[in-house]
Structure 1
Amino acid sequence: MALNLVDVKSEYAKDKDLKEEDVKAFIEWVNKQPHLPEINEVQAILFLQSCYFRNEAAKAAIDTYFTVRTLCPDLFFERNPKNSPLKEGLDVTLFSVLPKLTPDGYSIIFMKLMDSNPDNYNFAMQLKYFDMVCMQYLHQQGTSKGHLIVLDMKGVVFGHLTKLGPLTMKKFLYYLQEAMPLRLKGLHYFNIVPFMDKILALMKPFMKKELMDMLYLHNTADDMTKFVPKDCLPQDYGGSVEPLNVLHEKVKSNLMQNVPFFEWEDKHSVDESRRQGKPKNVSDYFGVEGTFKKLELD
């Protein structure tokens, strides 16, 4: 099974703060936790680097990562891109890690609706797709000094807002902030919509201050050049990166060619019966689903 994981030698060469002895010690600790799956060197590097080599933070992150993924199968399992309904979901949105870094050395995770019909939009399916793109990229391309999430909201209509469930939003934002091995440096929305306040009202209860402080709203792509130079963006925005439609086809093709990677990831789950101490369940992290009030839409 070819996973095409990044060469760890290139990761050690990339960052002088990454020490092989720290990585080996981290792997040994994880593999001694009876409830966690065994990990490899690439996974250890991703979590240590994303936590700025703070060992205890990396331990908490990787435990949360595997636990949340296990407890939320709607977002993190059945991820074969050749199977429905995920296959159709890939046509709805573009999620791409763009090839050009910012002057700060940050990677850009770019998002854009390619099908603006809200009837075809499934929020949980799109979050699954986002995670697939990000995790495949991290495992196969390695670490980055930082990551910017950039969302073009053109094509988003009020019907999409009605698809954003509070519990699904809570699950995803918790995972993004507490578990994903990203060095998140900014969350940038542009071409913002008139009902952006309602979207933010849904998100803000689940956002820590650190994430709120890196949230930026821009009217156009030109307005965010301080953070994301136009040259780093696709040609559709005056940049030098391939056009959106070409990027979209490349992303879909890449996912289709990496089915073994997603099958490998799907095998990594937590065995709560073997956790030392009290086993975790969904309500420990997200409360009871019935306690979430329906989103009020004026």
Structure 2
Amino acid sequence: MATLSIRPLSAQLQEAAIKELHEVPERLAADIEALRTWIQQQPHLRARDDDQFLVSFLRGCKFSLEKAKSKIDRFYALRTKYPEFFTIKDADDQKVRELLNTGMIVYLPTPLNEHGSRIALIRSGVYSAEKYTIEEIARTMYGIQEISMLEDDYAVVNGITTIVDVKQGTAAHLMQMSPSSLKKMTIFSEEALPFRPKNTHFIYIPSGFETFFNILKPMLSKKQQKRLSLHGNKLDGIYEHIPLKYLPKEYGGENGSIEECIVELNKKLDEYRDYFKANAQYGTNEKLRPGKPIDFDHLCGVQGSFRKLEVD
């Protein structure tokens, strides 16, 4: 069998992959080949099948071949159905670059506790709700996550711990998140991405946010609901979960600065210019799917909006 074209894991990550993800290094090539063979046999599916892409899904699914198949299928089916939410085809997309430069989402350079999960910082309200649509915001976030999926072994093996700073969020930002949009993003995050979300911590919560939060929560899986924490309008409540030193400089920590992270993300987009351009050739053709086609209305459909929500 050909030599695998994947990054070797560090000693700590390899140990975690074996213990927590059931990875068997001696069987890795065979597992990847089994997944690749399945992809090639699917008449409806045009998917990437390089080693690094496939091993991300295997690790994200704890080496359950059936779960990895399902996630790859959903990954491309949802991107084909809703490209405006989930697919970047141009790394130089002006709106994507502008949103990236607001620092609305960054991945901090040092993992939690040095060798743990990757820390993501999402900042609501740092962009104009009038200028950018929820589709543009989602597309930018998922484009960055796609790069992480291919490059960040800490995120793939140990998962992602997320901090959501809603200090600058306004009623206009909250109302962008219609139930339908949220449902699509929740389904994509849970059923299509090969990441294991650890915990999500909301900080600097403005008045009115908890009402909104209580509407959102039931749309998430029970497992995700248990991983959400609200920390009021202060920062110190998060320290028992994420010590101060692992926060960025702007929050009093030592884990890089948001500006530095933005520079790195722009470099990554530059490097992935050809990659994103090639995304146009991948997807699903539901007419060729064996068995029943996906019922997208049932899967992602939620009617209504938050227009009537009152936020102080």
What TM-score bracket applies, with the shorter chain setting the length? 0.7 to 0.9
> In structure 2, what is the equivalent of residue 10 of structure 1?
8
Separation in 2, partners of 1:182, 1:87:
24
State the one-letter code of the partner of 1:181. P
Distance 1:12 1:283, change over 3 A: farther
Q: What's the C-alpha RMSD, in Å, of the aligned pairs?
A: 2.3
Q: CA deviation at 1:23?
A: 2.0
Question: Per the alignment, do residues 88 and 236 of structure 1 end up closer, same or farther by CA in structure 2, a change over 3 Å counting?
Answer: closer
Q: 1:200 to 1:79 in 2, by over 3 A?
A: farther
- Give how far 1:87 is off: 3.3
* Rounded Cα–Cα distance in structure 1 between residues aligned with 2:43 and 2:305: 39
Per-residue deviation, 1:90: 2.7
Q: CA deviation at 1:88?
A: 3.0
TM-superposed CA distance for 1:167, in Å, is 1.0
- SS of structure 2 residue aligned to 1:227: coil
Aligned residues between the structures? 290
Residue identity matched to 1:72 = Y
Runs of 4+ in 1 over 4 A off after TM superposition: none
**Aligned-pair CA distance for 1:127:** 1.1
Q: Secondary structure at the match of 2:161?
A: strand
Deviation at 1:105?
A: 1.0
Alpha carbons of 1:144 and 1:99: their partners in 2 closer, same or farther (altered >3 Å)?
A: farther
Gaps (5+ residues) in structure 2? none
Residue of structure 1 in register with 2:117 after alignment: 106
Q: Quote the residue 1:122 is aligned against.
A: 133
SS in 1 for 2:72: helix
Alignment of 1:66 onto 2:79: no
Aligned-pair identity (%): 22
Q: Identify if the C-alpha distance between structure 1 residues 198 and 265 changes in structure 2 by more than 3 Å, giving closer, same or farther.
A: farther
Pick the aligned partner of 1:140 from 148, 151, 173: 151
**Any unmatched runs of 5+ in structure 1?**
1-5
In structure 1, C-alpha distance between the alignment counterparts of 2:298 and 2:305, rounded to whole Å: 21
Q: Where does residue 204 of structure 1 map in the other structure? A: 217
Give the stretch that moved more between structures: 174-183 or 103-112.
103-112
Name the TM-score, length of structure 1 as normaliser: 0.88
- Conserved? CA contact 2:88–2:143, under 8 Å: no
Give how far 1:114 is off: 7.1
Q: Distance in 2 between matches of 1:12 and 1:159?
A: 44
TM-score, normalisation: structure 2: 0.84
Q: Distance in 1 between matches of 2:53 and 2:195?
A: 12
What SS does the corresponding residue of 1:144 show, helix, strand or coil? helix
Q: For 2:287, what is the secondary structure of its paired residue?
A: helix
Bigger shift: residues 154-163 or 130-139: 154-163
